[in-house]
Structure 1
């Protein structure tokens, strides 16, 4: 099996898992139940219900976000996506605020991970949450923001959390750029009020390019820290964090940072050479001082 097929199967499996509850509670369950019948045919395990064919996340690393896209923030003010870039990197997530389950778990996972990241929203990075539902309002966005800023436990960082709503053209621009596929599905009442979608957050560089994707609803604080430090051009974080970004490499297939042995060896070599150089310098100064003292003593006794 090729790596491409493995990756494709991975995100499709993830989409199936995260959508199970919503689909079983809706009329779309009839379409999903027919999936089991397909398994009797050849290669049936590689097929998906038609409703899920467009659902998933296609990683588009280094893709420029549509910075001219117009949205409305949680105060009701019209903003451009580009208003949040130019100074610091950002964490971007696409959700909808009336999501009955998955989106809340995603935002809970993000807030929980950020609690253990020693960086400050609004100072070192921004959190940008965008609704994919054009019917949702700034008032609803404001309630979600208040909840997650409180959950995060640092109210002074509220200016670094941005909960946006927008109309279909702007949403389509953003979801297209990020590779975020989703479809409307009926809710328990049969109305098309819910969305089938996967779960992911993206780290975006200071100039608005997609740097890293983290899939799922639980995120590693270490990976988020390294991702933000890298996306800032190593301008944020401690010297230790900057060294870690040199030793760790982001793997988009596993959505994690992997330790690169070669870089560790290189870094160890640099440290060793620096230590030897410093030792030789100190010994040279010591010998030079001893020689001068000897010459001075000889002259005084001469």
Structure 2
């Protein structure tokens, strides 16, 4: 009887904690990063950079290996952290941006434009030598069609949450060969310089890597200042923790009841 009550309490607790976040669980199922190694990017699709220059994607790659990252510039969560982490790691590779590789950031928000990209660029390279600021980097925007084409090709699946006015998407970057083929994926916000360097040199030779383990870090309800997810995600974690604690409590009670029954039978 006690065990049944505990299971019922656990179920009720789970429903109470998770009910408000059920919509987010549905959204999470539609978000991911599918690895489309060797696929060719839509090189003819047009994008506009932080200076207002519009050109086909192929022109921004410009015959060099490139690092492609998709996010958005007004993102309050992980996107700026990804750009900053990538920038620091690239400095440690000893490769020269603009000559040996390029970086192409693309906004997944079709409402963003050149001013958003320019602001993000200024923020990213604040304090750098003005003559070297942003060399080899292109912060692009585009219409929904071009963005959708590119996201589909690289396997990025994302959703827009209207209530939060945020995009839910995975964090990571894609290494691209000079010919525009996908060479490798990096997931998360940590990009080891040695691995990054090797991947860029491999991509320069049009080599395609093997799939990597997908440990996705989602850019949604995330506070980069604290490195934690907000109450929406944490509520789900607490709910699962409560269910586990209740189940464990039920198991202990059952053991004690059996011990008590055994002692009574022996007397």
| TM above 0.5 | yes
Does residue 75 (structure 1) correspond to residue 51 (structure 2)? The answer is: yes
Q: Is the 8 A contact 1:97 1:140 kept in 2?
A: yes
The size of the alignment, in residue pairs, is: 198
Q: CA deviation at 1:101?
A: 1.1
SS of residue paired to 2:158: strand
Equivalent position of 2:211 in the other structure:
252
2:74 to 68, 89, 98: 98
Q: TM-score, normalised by structure 1?
A: 0.60
SS of residue paired to 2:70: strand
For residues 151 and 53 of structure 1, do their structure 2 counterparts lie closer, same or farther at Cα, with a shift above 3 Å needed?
farther
Equivalent position of 1:114 in the other structure:
90
For residues 170 and 198 of structure 1, do their structure 2 counterparts lie closer, same or farther at Cα, with a shift above 3 Å needed?
same
Q: Which runs of structure 2 are paired with 1:1-302 in the superposition (5 Å)?
A: 33-34=21-22, 49-150=25-126, 155-156=131-132, 158-186=134-162, 190=163, 193-233=165-205, 250-254=209-213
For residues 114 and 143 of structure 1, do their structure 2 counterparts lie closer, same or farther at Cα, with a shift above 3 Å needed?
same
Q: CA deviation at 1:131?
A: 0.2
- The CA RMSD over aligned residues, in Å, is 2.5
Q: Is the 8 A contact 1:121 1:157 kept in 2?
A: no
Q: CA deviation at 1:159?
A: 3.2
Q: TM-score, normalised by structure 2?
A: 0.68
For residues 136 and 86 of structure 1, do their structure 2 counterparts lie closer, same or farther at Cα, with a shift above 3 Å needed?
closer
SS of residue paired to 2:201: helix
Deviations along 1:118-141, whole A, 9 cap, x unmatched? Answer: 011111110000000000110110
Unaligned runs of 5+ in 1: 1-28, 36-47, 235-244, 256-302
For residues 80 and 138 of structure 1, do their structure 2 counterparts lie closer, same or farther at Cα, with a shift above 3 Å needed?
same
Larger radius of gyration: 1
Bigger proportion of residues as helix: 1
For residues 72 and 222 of structure 1, do their structure 2 counterparts lie closer, same or farther at Cα, with a shift above 3 Å needed?
same
Q: CA deviation at 1:115?
A: 1.8
> How far, CA to CA, are the matches of 2:41 and 2:127 in structure 1?
28
Q: Is the 8 A contact 1:122 1:160 kept in 2?
A: yes
Q: CA deviation at 1:109?
A: 1.4
Unaligned runs of 5+ in 2: 1-16, 215-267
